[in-house]
C-alpha cells in the first residue's frame, strides 16, 4: 500500500517525537544507572527542556491537523491506530488549562520531596497538605477528561484503557475473599515452609551469571538490550532493539536479584518482540500497564517460581550458588522460595498476598477521588484495611500509608494495574495450558515455545489491540479472577498441604 504525502508527513512527525523519547529515555536510564552525582542537576534540567519540546509537538496545531485530516480517513490500519493514540494524548493534554497543568507539575516536584521527608520521619502530616492538593487536581482532571460511570474511571483509563470501577468492583471483592481464605489456610497449615533456609552469602557476580543464563533461556536478546545495576529496578525501552533491564543485588538474599531480573526480563521480552512495523509510532510499546505487568509476573511467578522451572534449573543454579545449597534438595528449595508471609511492604509481598496490598490502595484511592473520605483520614483507614486484608498492622506511617512513591507524583489509578496484571497472567497461563503442556516445556529447559506463544499472541501487537480486546482474543473471555484463584489454590495447597 503506498502512503499519501500526508501519511508520510505524519509518520515523519511521529519519528521526530520518538527521537526525543529515545534520547530522553537514555537520559533516564543513565540517571538511574551510571551518572556521577554532580551531573544530575544539569541532566534533569536538560530532560525537562526536551520533554517540554515533546509535549509541544504532541499538543501542537500541526498534530491537531494530522488528527483531523487522518482520523477515519486513512486506509492504513497502523496509521489509523497511531492517530487514535495521538488523539488520546492530544485531548488529555488540551483539556487541562495550561496554567493549571504548570502548577500541577511544580506541585509534583514539591510533593515528592515532602513525601520523602515524611516517609523518613514517618510523619504523615508533612505530606498531607501536598497530597490534598494532588487529590484535588486529579479530581479536576478527571472532570475535564470526562467519564461515563465513576469519576475514578477517568484516572484508570490513563493506565488501563477500557477498565472501569464497575468491572473492578465486580472482580476485586471475590478475589479478596478467595485470597484471604487461602491466606487463612496457609496460616493454619502445619507444613514446614521456611524461606530462611535459602538465605546466606551468595556473591553478586554469581547471582548475575545465573540470572543471565535464565534470561537467555527466556530468549531475552542481549544484542538488543543489557543488564545493569540500579537502586530501584526497572525495564526501559530506548528503541525496540535496545530494551534494557536493571537490578539490585542483596548478597544475603539471592531472591531479590534473580526473581527481579526474571520480572524485568518479562517486561523486556514484551518490548523486544513488538513488531518492528510499529517502530517510531506510539504503538511501539505495551498496550497497558496491566498487560505489561502480566508479562513480568507471568515470568517471575508462574514460570520462575514454578516446580518445573526449578527441576530444570536447580543443578545449574547450584553450580553458581554457595555450598549450603548442596544440602537442600529441589523440593525443599521450591517450597522455601514460595513461603507465604504477609508483609507490611507491598514490594516485598509474596505471590499470594500481593493483590491484597493493591486492594487496600484501590479502595482508598477510589474513595478519595469520589470524596467519600478525606486525605487526613488515610493513615487510620490504611491501618484498618491492612489488618482486615493482611492480618498485620503497621507500627508507623512510614511502613504504612507513606510506603509508596506513586501518590506523591499524583499517580492515581495506577495501582489496580498490578492486580490486573496478576489476573491477566493467570488467564493467559490457563489458555496456554490448553494449547501446550507448559510444565513439560518448562522442565525441558527450552522455554522458546512459551516465548513464541507470548510473542505471537501478545507482544507483537504493541498497542494495536486494547488490553481487554487482547484478553478476549486470546482467552475467549473477559476479566476473570477464577484463573488466578485456581492457580494459587493449586500451587499453595500442594506446598502447604491443605
Q: Tell me the helix, strand and coil percentages in the chain, rounded to 5.
A: 70, 5, 30
Of 97, 170, 222, 448, which lies in the binding site for its own copies, with binding defined by CB under 8 A? 222
Contacts of 60 (CB under 8 A, 6+ apart): none
**Is beta strand 235-239 parallel, antiparallel or unpaired with respect to 242-247?**
antiparallel
With CB under 8 A as the contact rule, the residue among 4, 9, 22, 449 that binds its own copies is: 22
Rounded to 5°, angle at Cα 349 from 231 and 354: 120
Long-range contacts of 250-256 (CB under 8 A, 24+ apart): 251/201, 251/202, 251/203, 251/204, 251/207, 252/199, 252/200, 252/201, 252/202, 253/199, 253/202, 254/198, 254/202, 254/207, 254/321, 255/195, 255/198, 255/337
Closest to its own copies by CB, 33 or 195: 33
| Catalytic (active site) residue 91 | no
Cα-trace Rg, the chain:
23
With respect to its own copies, which residue has the nearer C-beta, 42 or 196? Answer: 42
Distance in Å, CB of 237 to its own copies, minimum: 10
Q: According to CB under 8 A, which residues from 351 to 370 bind its own copies?
A: none
**Chosen residue from 79, 141, 217, 225 binding its own copies by CB under 8 A:** 225
Within 8 A by CB and 6+ apart from 109, the residues are: none
38 is a site residue for its own copies (CB under 8 A): yes
The least distance separating its own copies from the CB of residue 205, rounded to whole angstroms, comes to 13
Q: Would you count residue 148 as binding its own copies (CB under 8 A)?
A: no
Q: Which of 49, 61, 232, 327: binder of its own copies (CB under 8 A)? A: 49
- List 160, 264, 271, 351, catalytic entry: 264
Enter the DSSP assignment of 459. Answer: G
Residue with smaller CB distance to its own copies, 35 or 256: 35
Backbone phi, psi, residue 413, to 5°: 105, -5
426 interacts with its own copies by CB under 8 A? no
Select the residue interacting with its own copies from 107, 211, 238, 261 (CB under 8 A): 238
Grid look-up 488520546 returns 88
Using the rule CB under 8 A, give the single segment among 26-34, 167-175, 369-377, 388-396 that binds its own copies: 26-34
| 279 binds its own copies, rule: CB under 8 A | yes
Cα atoms in the 13 Å half-sphere on the side-chain side of 469: 10
212 binds its own copies (CB under 8 A): no
**38 or 326: whose CB is closer to its own copies?**
38
Nearest alpha-carbon partner for 21 in 409, 280, 277, 289: 280
**What residues form the annotated binding site?**
263, 267, 293
Please give the residue ranges that form the binding site for its own copies (CB under 8 A). 15-16, 18-20, 22-24, 26-27, 30, 34-39, 41-43, 45-50, 53, 221-226, 238-242, 279-280
Active site residues: 264
Amino acid at each position: 500500500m503506498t502512503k499519501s504525502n500526508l501519511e508520510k508527513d505524519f509518520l515523519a512527525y511521529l519519528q521526530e517525537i520518538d527521537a526525543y523519547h529515545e534520547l530522553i529515555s537514555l537520559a533516564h536510564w543513565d540517571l538511574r544507572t551510571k551518572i556521577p552525582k554532580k551531573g544530575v542537576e544539569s541532566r534533569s534540567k536538560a530532560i525537562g527542556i526536551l520533554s517540554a519540546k515533546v509535549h509541544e509537538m504532541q499538543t501542537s496545531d500541526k498534530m491537531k491537523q494530522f488528527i483531523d485530516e487522518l482520523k477515519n480517513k486513512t486506509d492504513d490500519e497502523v496509521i489509523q491506530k497511531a492517530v487514535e493514540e495521538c488523539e488520546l494524548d492530544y485531548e488529555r493534554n488540551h483539556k487541562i488549562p495550561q496554567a493549571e497543568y504548570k502548577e500541577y507539575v511544580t506541585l509534583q516536584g514539591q510533593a515528592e520531596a515532602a513525601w520523602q521527608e515524611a516517609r523518613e520521619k514517618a510523619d504523615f502530616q508533612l505530606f498531607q497538605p501536598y497530597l490534598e492538593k494532588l487529590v484535588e487536581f486529579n479530581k479536576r482532571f478527571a472532570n475535564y477528561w470526562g467519564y461515563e460511570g465513576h469519576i475514578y474511571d477517568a484516572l484508570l483509563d490513563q493506565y488501563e484503557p477500557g477498565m472501569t470501577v464497575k468491572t473492578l468492583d465486580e472482580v476485586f471483592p471475590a478475589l479478596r475473599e478467595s485470597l484471604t481464605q487461602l491466606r487463612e489456610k496457609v496460616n493454619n497449615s502445619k507444613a514446614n515452609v521456611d524461606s530462611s533456609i535459602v538465605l546466606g552469602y551468595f556473591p553478586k557476580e554469581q547471582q548475575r551469571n545465573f540470572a543471565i543464563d535464565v534470561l537467555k533461556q527466556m530468549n531475552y536478546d542481549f544484542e538488543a538490550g543489557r543488564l545493569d545495576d540500579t537502586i530501584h529496578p526497572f525495564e526501559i525501552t530506548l528503541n525496540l532493539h535496545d530494551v534494557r533491564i536493571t537490578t539490585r543485588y542483596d548478597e544475603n538474599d539471592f531472591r531479590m536479584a534473580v526473581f527481579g531480573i526474571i520480572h524485568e526480563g518479562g517486561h523486556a521480552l514484551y518490548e523486544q518482540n513488538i513488531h518492528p512495523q510499529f517502530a517510531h509510532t506510539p504503538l511501539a510499546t505495551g498496550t497497558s500497564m496491566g498487560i505489561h505487568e502480566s508479562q513480568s509476573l507471568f515470568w517471575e511467578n508462574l514460570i520462575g517460581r514454578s516446580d518445573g522451572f526449578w527441576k530444570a534449573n536447580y543443578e545449574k543454579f547450584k553450580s553458581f550458588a554457595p555450598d549450603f545449597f548442596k544440602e537442600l534438595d529441589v523440593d525443599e528449595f521450591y517450597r522455601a522460595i514460595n513461603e507465604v508471609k504477609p508483609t507490611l511492604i507491598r514490594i516485598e509481598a509474596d505471590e499470594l498476598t500481593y493483590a491484597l496490598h493493591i486492594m487496600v490502595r484501590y479502595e482508598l484511592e477510589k474513595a478519595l477521588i469520589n470524596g467519600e473520605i478525606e486525605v487526613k483520614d488515610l493513615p487510620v483507614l490504611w491501618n484498618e484495611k491492612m489488618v482486615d486484608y493482611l492480618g498485620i498492622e503497621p507500627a508507623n506511617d512510614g511502613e504504612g500509608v507513606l510506603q509508596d512513591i506513586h501518590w506523591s507524583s499524583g499517580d492515581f489509578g495506577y495501582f489496580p494495574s498490578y492486580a490486573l496484571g496478576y489476573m491477566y497472567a493467570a488467564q493467559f497461563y490457563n489458555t496456554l495450558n490448553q494449547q501446550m503442556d507448559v510444565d513439560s516445556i518448562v522442565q525441558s529447559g527450552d522455554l522458546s515455545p512459551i516465548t513464541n506463544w507470548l510473542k505471537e499472541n501478545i507482544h507483537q501487537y504493541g498497542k494495536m489491540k486494547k488490553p481487554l480486546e487482547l484478553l478476549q482474543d486470546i482467552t475467549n473471555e473477559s476479566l476473570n479472577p477464577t484463573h488466578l484463584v485456581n492457580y494459587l489454590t493449586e500451587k499453595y495447597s500442594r506446598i502447604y498441604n491443605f
